[in-house]
Chain A
Amino acid sequence: MLPTKKTPPKQDLADLTVLVYGRSKIGKSTWCSKSDGALFLATEPGLNALDVFQVPVSSWDELLAACGEIAEGKHPFKTIIIDTVDNAYRMCSDYICKKFKIEHESDLGYGKGWALINNEFHRVLTKLAFMFYGLFLVSHSQEKEIETRTGKHTRIVPTLPDKARKIVLGMVDLILFCDLEVTKDEDGNPTYRRVMRTKPSPNYEAGDRTGRLPETIDLDFNKFIEVFNAPATAHKASASRSQVGSGDKQSKVPASAGK
């Protein structure tokens, strides 16, 4: 019953649970679409420009039905992408309201409605994350005012409601914040580069449990995979190369979140 060996760290991107968030149209879905055996559970329109396998999902019931089929395993897909997880959460909320015949989450009193929604959301995401597929969750970004002990500041966070956000942050291996990095060329004109930020900062949420990624990386799936799959010894070197090359030294501050 008890283990005799340590669980090896997850090596393959397709084993991981990943949150990809950032402003609209920055390229989150395109990035996800390049993953191995991608299947989109499309909870919002917007994938039309992409040539991808997708299940249009308009309710939580439909999402559950799709997840049920995925769990049966009779398909070639390897990475499940919920695009967007924000909409999935809203569907979950509608589903619970309908189920308990209430108009609003607060109608059950004492926060019970919210708790039921969060439990259902947590249950389904956890179950999906435990399956033998990669799970990518896509979210938009927003600026949130954070009140800390030392004052207030704004931080870019996924658009999920607070409790749902905490659930998602707790279950993902990678939190990738898609951002526009602004640098100035020789003439002082701003130039923009699409990047993914992988390490947390006071200005945004991000994270990398694998420890394989540089702090900033181009928003390009092939480059990402190259770095992710590089041998462990190469990670540090590649991380510093990537940072030096990207002008990270002076430009850690993201452009505004957009939506």
Chain B
Amino acid sequence: MMSGPMLTTYSMWSLFRNCRKACDWRYLHELVPLERDHNLSFGSLIHECLEIWHRDRELKRVLDHIDRACPNQAQDERELRDWHLATAMMKGYAARYPTEEFEVVALEKTFKGKIVNPATGASSRSFVLAGKVDGIVQIGDEFFLLEHKTASQIDADYLERLWTDFQIILYAWYVERTLGLRIAGILYNILVKARLQQGRGETEAEFEERRRRLAAKSKTGKSSAKRKLPESDEAFQERLAAKYAEPGMFHRETLYISRDQFAALQAELWELTQAFLDARRRGVFYRNTAFCFHYHRPCAYFPLCRSGGSPNVIENLYHKVPPHEELRDGGGEPPQANCARRANACCGRHNPPRQAGTGGEPQDCLCGSHIEEAPAF
């Protein structure tokens, strides 16, 4: 039976370029880890909130959405943390941008187009490329892609790295082709995740220990210290609100796209399609083990690769999810149920950028000369 060309996304090609095996696990075996990556889910929630905000500009709707997305906050600490952060972030965002310099043309816009061999102009018969952009906006008489990002911090590296965000540049080309709008560049809308923690207070034992230490230092041998109580939700929201009033917590960066970048990316994409066809024909998707810890945490398929593809690992730690969920429309389901950023655990694009000091740096020498050796085995 003839089937049509395979639907692909840049996430897939990016993964194929980074590690063919990861691409095989995700896009041919359709496996994703059973457990959801929390970092990805917070980013998704903020994307959903921004979509609602830019569509309706009603903060109440956004806050209602956050409430619905965190139904177990009373019992679940992580949900409560997400709720606090998302609420404060979106309140801060609404206060920071009460009016916009741009007009929204489209939000969460999907597109689908041919993949073209730049040397001959012929279209691929095996693949088409589809994608979804966060938004298209108009500033003056120019159109920009709107791209939302949540970051742990914005530093020079972070901003410079935006130039290497090839996916969005490629998507700009497809948006031009399929929607007939000339895209001048990308407007990056970056929201910083505050690192504040809600004060959890002291246990009775912790308080007694602190009071004992203070008393020991005091001349009178006594201490008037009071037990630190847990910070209330209201007090924590106030602290977060003050943080989000700081200028560095939101940032907009506009990048203009040069036309030669389009050509280079077209050529690169074509090369990837040829390499993929070859890998699929021969059934060889080799592993790029240099990529396993690329984001300073194990790749989502690490347990699977380490076990040599053990069926026990597949059956207990992964499940099948059709690829490219990001392309589906809402279809009446709550947005988080459809969000591909939650499903594509290995998607290079939405992994959080590296944070300063979170890994990789060499530690103190682990010199073993003084170490008692255990029996050899």
Given A68-B376, A110-B363, A149-B342, the answer on whether A170 and B306 have CB atoms closer than 8 Å is yes
The proximity string for B residues 345-363 relative to A, scoring 1 for CB distances below 8 Å and 0 otherwise, is: 0000000000000111101
Given known A146-B35, A170-B312, contact A61–B375 (CB-CB < 8 A): yes
Contacts A110-B359, A147-B36 given; indicate if A95 touches B374 (C-beta within 8 A): yes
Q: Which segment of B85-93, B141-149, B180-188, B315-323 sits at the interface? A: B315-323
State the CA gap A168–B376 with chains docked (Å): 22
Q: Which residues of A contact B375 (CB under 8 A)?
A: 61, 64-65, 68
A73 CB to nearest chain B CB (Å): 14
* A4 and B371 alpha carbons, distance in the complex (Å): 45
A169 touches B313 (CB 8 A): yes
Cβ-defined contact, B316 with A112, below 8 A: no
CA distance A64 to B377 in the complex (A): 6
Q: Are B312 and A207 in contact (CB under 8 A)?
A: yes
Closest A-chain residue to B345, C-beta based?
A149
**Hey, which chain A residues are within 8 Å of B310, CB to CB?**
169-171, 209
Cα–Cα distance between A205 and B36 once the two chains are bound (Å): 17
Instruction: List residues of B (158-172) whose CB comes within 8 Å of A's CBs.
Output: none
> Is A244's CB within 8 Å of the partner chain B?
no
Chain A residues with Cβ below 8 Å from B372 are: 99
| Complex-state Cα separation, A149 to B359, whole angstroms | 27
Contact (Cβ within 8 A) B34 A148 = yes
CA distance A60 to B377 in the complex (A): 11
Q: Which residues of A contact B313 (CB under 8 A)?
A: 166, 169-170
- Residues of the A chain whose Cβ atoms lie less than 8 Å from the Cβ of B363: 108-110, 112
Residues of A within 8 A of B374 (CB): 60-61, 64, 95, 99
Q: Are A169 and B36 in contact (CB under 8 A)?
A: no
Distance A127 CA – B376 CA, assembled complex (angstroms): 12
- Do A170 and B377 contact each other (CB < 8 Å), given the known contacts A149-B36, A149-B343, A207-B316? no
Contact B315 A207 (CB under 8 A): yes
Mark interface residues in B16-49 (1 if CB within 8 Å of A CB, else 0): 0000000000000000101110100000000000
The yes or no answer to B248 lying at the interface (CB within 8 A) is: no
Q: Within 8 Å CB of B35, what residues of A?
A: 146-148
For the complex, is B337 an interface residue (Cβ under 8 Å from A)?
yes
Cβ of B197 under 8 Å from chain A: no
B64 to chain A, nearest CB (A): 20
The minimal Cβ–Cβ distance linking A56 to chain B, given in whole angstroms, is: 16
Q: Nearest chain B CB to A143's CB is how many angstroms away? A: 15
Q: Are B312 and A169 neighbours in the complex by a CB distance under 8 Å? A: yes
Q: Are B321 and A149 in contact (CB under 8 A)?
A: yes
- Closest chain A CB from B86 CB (angstroms): 16
A124 touching B36, Cβ below 8 Å: no
CB distance from B360 to the nearest CB of A (A): 8
Does A172 count as interface, using CB distance less than 8 angstroms? yes
Within 8 Å CB of A150, what residues of B? Answer: 337
Closest to A62 in B: B375
Across-interface contacts of A100 in B (CB, < 8 A): 366, 371
B199: Cβ under 8 A from any A Cβ: no
Residue in chain B with minimal CB distance to A124: B377
* CB closest chain-A residue, reference B338: A149
Whether A182 sits at the interface, judged by CB under 8 Å, is no
Of B36, B321, B343, most buried by chain A (CB within 10 Å of CB) is: B36
Chain A residues 37-96 with CB under 8 Å of chain B are 60-61, 64-65, 67-68, 71, 95
Q: Is B126's beta carbon under 8 Å from chain A?
A: no
User: With an 8 A cutoff between CB atoms, is A117 at the interface?
Assistant: no
In the assembly, what is the distance between CA of A170 and CA of B308, in Å?
Answer: 8
**Quick check: is A175 within 8 A (CB to CB) of the other chain?**
yes
What CA separation (Å) do A167 and B376 show in the bound complex?
22
Chain A contacts for B368, CB-based, 8 A: 99
* Interface residue from B303, B337, B343, B376 paired with A170 (Cβ < 8 Å): B303
> Are A99 and B317 within 8 A (Cβ)?
no
Q: Is B303's CB under 8 angstroms from A169's CB?
A: yes
Which residues does chain B contribute within 8 Å of A67, judged by CB atoms?
Answer: 377
A247: interface (CB < 8 Å) = no
Please measure, in the bound complex, the distance between the C-alpha atom of A207 and the C-alpha atom of B311, giving whole angstroms: 8
| A110 pairs with B361, CB closer than 8 A | yes
Interface centre among B32, B313, B321, B337 (most CB of A within 10 A): B313
Q: When A68-B377, A148-B36 are in contact, do A175 and B343 touch as well, CB less than 8 Å? A: no
| Any A CB within 8 A of the CB of B289 | no
Does A200 make an interface contact (CB < 8 A)? yes
User: Is B307 engaged at the interface, CB distance under 8 Å to the other chain?
Assistant: yes
B contact residues around A200 at 8 Å (CB): 312, 315-316
Cα A200 to Cα B371 with chains together (Å): 43
The closest CB in chain A to the CB of B40 belongs to: A149
Contacts of A61 in B (CB 8 A): 374-375
Q: A64-B376, A100-B371, A170-B312 are in contact. List 10 more A-B contacts (CB 8 A).
A: A95-B374, A99-B374, A110-B363, A111-B359, A112-B363, A149-B337, A169-B303, A169-B310, A170-B308, A199-B315
Jot down 17 A-B pairs with beta carbons below 8 A, ordered by A: A60-B374, A61-B374, A65-B377, A67-B377, A68-B377, A108-B363, A110-B360, A124-B377, A148-B35, A169-B316, A170-B307, A170-B308, A170-B310, A170-B313, A199-B315, A200-B312, A207-B311
3 nearest A-B residue pairs (beta carbon): A170-B307, A207-B312, A65-B375
Q: What is the interface of chain A, defined by CB distance below 8 A to chain B?
A: 60-61, 64-65, 67-68, 71, 95, 99-100, 108-112, 124, 127, 146-150, 152, 166-167, 169-173, 175, 199-200, 205-207, 209
